[in-house]
């Protein structure tokens, strides 16, 4: 087929969004040209090329941790700029597809001029915006805002020619709400094994130097119960005062100060390092030197419908994983794979960590079983489904032009 350029729009810094990067770079590797329109960090160039992807950085500031009105203003400013930027670019590039990544869902309307020109629109729903708002801004959530959020979701989905989402629970919710199965495809956040390849790093056997090294890679936000993780570390220290431990949080977010204060109050500040956010390319190296990866997602109506990519990244690196027992995660991973703990329960998390330490044979078996599951959910298989959607939509575009 004629592979026309693909346009992507995302309200994020391109280099920091693994899902967008995985898709864009995979398309480039398969012969497509890809232009991504995203946010610009202070000091960044307006345009650049990353692994063959043309990145256009729009001058909209990000206000992480702000109130809902600030988010609405930020989203609106980005939508308008993205609409004008992609329309101008289409005059030169003649896109065969525009893919819009949520949140917000209604960012899909930035594609209005291109849709009017006959370009198919693909909406990629990374997260459930309705449930996210209720969880992140409980004081602003009420009947009116919930109705408006559901309306914008319904209108956004109706506007798109096809919809992607990240896991089966989210897909089931969309189907229950009336989306037709033929307009929906699940493409999971499976790791790109080119980036998460344990063979390119020195191998560390479990607790090789006698120290238990725990790692978390991700945002420092309330979605992730890092406070529970710190309390669990305090429990482990109380239970095993002679067990050498370290815990590293790689990421940034509005919870950093409170986490540092909590670590101090629990008497474990000496165990904690918080190096800040690192590039995606360096995450595998940070995981390679650790013994246990933690995926501490808080259980709420939002996270019930999500599956953390951290689980699969740690597992791809051959590390045992301690994960919150969320319905979505338990639906994909059997009890003999991940070491589950009860959400919100520091004692349960501490017990899961200590079981990995005390039962090395079982821990090795868990790692092997999880690796088999990761292979079944591999990005190669996810990309086959994603590529099929892109080809189908572009073929529809070509057929329309030929009539």
Distance between CA 306 and CA 216 in Å, rounded? 18
Looking at CATH, the fold of the domain delimited by 198-376 is given as Rossmann fold (3.40.50)
- Distance CA(27)–CA(377), nearest Å, equals 19
DSSP labels, 122-147: EEEE-S-HHHHHHHH-TTT--HHHHH
Q: Measured between alpha carbons, how far is 284 from 313 in angstroms, rounded to an integer? A: 8
Predicted confidence at residue 247, as pLDDT, reads 97
The domain limits of the chain are 6-190+379-402, 198-376
CATH C-level class of 6-190+379-402: alpha beta
Q: Are 379 and 191 in contact (CB under 8 A)?
A: yes
**Burial letters for 99-125: b for 16+ Cβ neighbours within 10 Å, e otherwise?**
bbbbbbbbbbbbbeebbeeebbbbbbb
**pLDDT for 195:** 80
Matching fold, domains 6-190+379-402 and 198-376: yes
SS3 2: coil
* Helix/strand/coil for 56: strand
Is the Cβ–Cβ distance between 103 and 123 less than 8 Å? no
pLDDT of residue 403: 40
Distance CA 98, CA 160 (A): 10
pLDDT in tens, the chain (403 residues): 678 999 999 999 998 898 999 999 999 999 999 999 999 988 889 999 999 999 999 988 776 655 666 777 888 899 999 999 999 999 999 999 999 999 899 999 999 999 999 999 999 999 887 777 777 666 666 778 778 888 989 999 999 999 999 989 899 999 999 999 999 999 998 888 778 889 999 999 999 999 999 999 999 988 899 999 999 999 999 999 999 999 999 998 889 999 999 999 999 999 999 999 888 889 999 999 999 999 999 998 878 877 888 999 999 999 999 999 998 898 899 999 999 999 999 999 999 999 999 999 999 999 999 999 988 888 988 999 999 999 999 998 666 554 4
b/e map of 262-295 (b: 16 or more CB within 10 Å)?
A: bbeebebeebbebeebeebeebbebbbebbbbbb
- pLDDT of res. 140: 66
Q: In terms of Cα–Cα distance, which of 67, 57, 53, 48 is closest to 21?
A: 53
Start-to-end CA span in the chain (Å):
17
């Amino acid at each position: 087929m004629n592979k026309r350029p693909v346009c992507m729009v995302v309200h994020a810094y391109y280099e920091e969004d693994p899902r967008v990067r995985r898709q864009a770079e995979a398309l480039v590797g398969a012969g497509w040209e890809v232009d991504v329109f995203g946010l610009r960090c202070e000091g960044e160039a307006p345009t650049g090329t990353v692994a063959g992807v043309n990145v256009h950085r729009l001058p909209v500031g990000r206000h992480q941790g702000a109130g809902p009105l600030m988010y609405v203003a930020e989203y609106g400013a980005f939508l308008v700029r993205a609409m004008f930027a992609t329309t101008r670019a289409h005059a030169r590039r003649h896109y065969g597809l525009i893919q819009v990544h949520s949140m917000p869902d209604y960012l899909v309307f930035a594609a209005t001029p291109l849709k009017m020109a006959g370009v198919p629109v693909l909406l990629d729903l990374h997260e459930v915006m309705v449930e996210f708002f209720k969880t992140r801004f409980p004081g602003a959530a009420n009947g009116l805002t919930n109705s408006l959020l559901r309306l914008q979701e319904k209108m956004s989905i109706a506007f798109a020619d096809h919809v992607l989402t990240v896991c089966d629970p989210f897909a089931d919710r969309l189907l229950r709400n009336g989306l037709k199965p033929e307009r929906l495809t699940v493409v999971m956040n499976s790791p790109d094994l080119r980036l998460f390849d344990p063979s390119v790093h020195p191998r560390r056997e479990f607790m090789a130097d006698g120290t238990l090294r725990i790692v978390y890679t991700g945002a420092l936000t309330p979605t992730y119960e890092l406070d529970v993780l710190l309390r669990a570390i305090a429990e482990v220290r109380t239970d095993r005062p002679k067990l050498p431990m370290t815990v590293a949080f790689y990421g940034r977010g509005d919870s950093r100060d409170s986490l540092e204060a909590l670590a101090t109050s629990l008497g474990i500040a000496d165990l904690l390092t918080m190096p800040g956010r690192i590039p995606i390319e360096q995450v595998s190296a940070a995981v390679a030197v650790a013994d246990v990866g933690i995926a501490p997602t808080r259980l709420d109506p939002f996270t019930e419908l999500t599956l953390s990519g951290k689980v699969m990244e740690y597992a791809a690196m051959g590390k045992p994983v301690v994960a919150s027992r969320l319905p979505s995660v338990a639906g994909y991973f059997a009890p003999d794979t991940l070491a589950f703990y009860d959400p919100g329960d520091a004692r349960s998390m501490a017990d899961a960590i200590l079981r990995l330490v005390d039962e090395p044979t079982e821990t090795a078996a868990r790692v092997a079983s999880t690796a088999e599951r990761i292979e079944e959910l591999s990005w190669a298989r996810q990309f086959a489904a994603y590529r099929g959607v892109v080809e189908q939509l572009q073929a529809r575009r070509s057929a329309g032009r030929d009539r």
